[in-house]
Structure 1
Amino acid sequence: MVEQPAKGEIPEGVLVPSGVITLPAKKPEQCDQGSEADRGLQTGELKRESKATPPPKRLPAGDKESPPTVEETRPCTTKVEQSPATTARRKRRVVVVGDSLLRGTEAPICRPDSSSREVCCLPGARIRDVTEALSRIIRPSDYYPMLLIHVGTNDTARCDTERIKCDYRALGVRVKEFGAQVVFSSILPVKGRGPGRERCILEVNTWLRRWCRQEGFGFLDHGVLFQEGLLGGDGVHLSRSGKALFGHRLANLVRRALN
């Protein structure tokens, strides 16, 4: 799943040490020219009053003076909470977003309640494409119990695991801004694309599982479930039975999130 702070401001999810503000000393108030004190100084009629300071109280021998008591006054803080009415007005939506492997999963995911479930299929999408598309998909006015992301198959064609990890990290920073529960779906296996790509998928999935745990994201591990009989003729997309199984697994996760 996806698992950082902006510069120069207080972005979401970033801890910024609070500053200490020193206020200028308050200037003493000046009496106007017509004050009683000035008139007294001008006429010589100002009387000075002096109060006799009482002598210090002597304690009996053997007794010690207790230290002064300092009363600490803590600032009063007000906790602002959203009212139940405000929360109820926000629409609950679960969004499943990813590459073309999501095509055909719309029916099992959205059939129970299409008003609260949405599948966003981005054909040919890479990890960076999903990162850029989220701002157009997520509505700030809605409440998202879960954001399910399945992407990465097209990125493994280059077998550049370090770049894939870097793109996942950037996606993790982006999704944390929405405050939703985020679940990453593991990259499905491919067939007939060479051992290098198979090793890349295995390495990325192993890292992705560990990274999601570190960042507090969920991880849906498909393992080696989608292999013989579930992959299409091109060895990348799913067969009809593969789409049915994939959609069923995603739909179960969505149902648990809404319930």
Structure 2
Amino acid sequence: MPKVLIVGDEAVNGISHVCNPKKTRVISFPGDTVSDLTRKVLSLTADQPDIESLVVHVGANDVAKQKSEILKKDFNILLNTMGKLKMKLFLSGPIPSPQWGDDKHSRLDMINKWLIKICSASSVTFIDNLWIYWQHFHLFGRSGRNLNKHGIKLLTANLFHFINKDSNMFWHKSTFSSP
């Protein structure tokens, strides 16, 4: 039985091709928002009692559409729902699309700072993906919306870095700054 369950929006689509299916199960819900996944988390984990770690990757669809205060409320509900589970919990933050301008990037940066703070006060470890992908166009497919194979491998490595680590640390933007 898999020990890690990764649930998320379209960004997690290709992860299953990189992971060992005996150890990791990946479920993708393209187009899902934070509130959509919140409604699914408990039933998805109830079906898999051997899961030791849950990663929820979501938020990019919300950043593109919603106001920040509504998104914060939705994330709070998700974190409260995740807090009911008895396993290692991870929230993988939104990946910025290369099509986003400075306005959406600024909103995502603000949301990430808030998520770092709110997750550090909970049982959920936040995985910040913002600075790994911001302005790194080579990690996306031609459409600019989906990760290419290099972007997927990097996301998978980042997720498992945190899953296999016990601390609540996150990647800092200087780690991935362009030369």
Alpha-carbon shift at residue 201 of structure 1 (Å): 1.0
Alpha-carbon shift at residue 235 of structure 1 (Å): 2.7
CA contact (8 A) 1:156 1:197 kept: yes
1:105 aligns with 2:12: no
Match of 2:174 in 1: none
Match of 1:125 in 2: 32
Instruction: Determine helix, strand or coil for the equivalent of 1:219.
Output: strand
1:146 aligns with 2:53: yes
Q: Percent identity?
A: 23
Alpha-carbon shift at residue 142 of structure 1 (Å): 1.4
Alpha-carbon shift at residue 220 of structure 1 (Å): 1.5
CA contact (8 A) 1:106 1:247 kept: no
Cα distance in 2 for partners of 1:169, 1:180 equals 18
Select the residue among 92, 96, 109 that pairs with 1:202: 109
CA contact (8 A) 1:108 1:248 kept: no
Match of 2:42 in 1: 135
Q: Which one-letter code corresponds to 1:163 in the other structure?
A: I
Q: Which one-letter code corresponds to 1:97 in the other structure?
A: V
Which has more radius of gyration? 1
CA contact (8 A) 1:193 1:235 kept: no
Instruction: Determine helix, strand or coil for the equivalent of 1:224.
Output: helix
Match of 2:118 in 1: 211
Cα distance in 2 for partners of 1:100, 1:166 equals 22
Structure 2 runs not aligned, ≥5 long: 167-179
Instruction: Determine helix, strand or coil for the equivalent of 1:120.
Output: strand
Task: Render the CA deviation track for 1:70-102: whole Å, top value 9, x for unaligned.
Answer: xxxxxxxxxxxxxxxxxxxxx673211110000
Cα distance in 2 for partners of 1:222, 1:152 equals 11
1:231 aligns with 2:140: yes
Select the residue among 133, 138, 161 that pairs with 2:68: 161
TM-score (normalizing by structure 1): 0.58
Number of matched residues? Answer: 164
Q: Following superposition of structure 1 onto structure 2, how do residues 1-259 of structure 1 map, counting pairs within 5 Å?
A: 93-109=3-19, 111=20, 114-139=21-46, 142-226=49-133, 227-255=136-164
Alpha-carbon shift at residue 242 of structure 1 (Å): 1.1
Larger CA deviation: 163-172 vs 140-149: 140-149
Cα distance in 2 for partners of 1:148, 1:162 equals 23
Alpha-carbon shift at residue 237 of structure 1 (Å): 1.7
Task: Considering Cα pairs closer than 8 Å and 6+ residues apart, tell me whether 1 or 2 has the greater RCO.
Answer: 1
Q: Which has the higher helix share?
A: 2
Alpha-carbon shift at residue 247 of structure 1 (Å): 2.1
Match of 1:48 in 2: none
Alpha-carbon shift at residue 177 of structure 1 (Å): 1.6
> Are residues 201 and 116 of structure 1, via their aligned partners in 2, closer, same or farther at CA, if it must alter by over 3 Å?
same
TM-score (normalizing by structure 2): 0.81
> Are residues 181 and 250 of structure 1, via their aligned partners in 2, closer, same or farther at CA, if it must alter by over 3 Å?
same
CA RMSD of superposed structures (Å): 2.1
CA contact (8 A) 1:157 1:197 kept: yes
Q: Which one-letter code corresponds to 1:148 in the other structure?
A: V
> Are residues 199 and 246 of structure 1, via their aligned partners in 2, closer, same or farther at CA, if it must alter by over 3 Å?
same
Cα distance in 2 for partners of 1:195, 1:159 equals 16
Cα distance in 2 for partners of 1:135, 1:203 equals 28
Structure 1 runs not aligned, ≥5 long: 1-90
Alpha-carbon shift at residue 159 of structure 1 (Å): 4.5
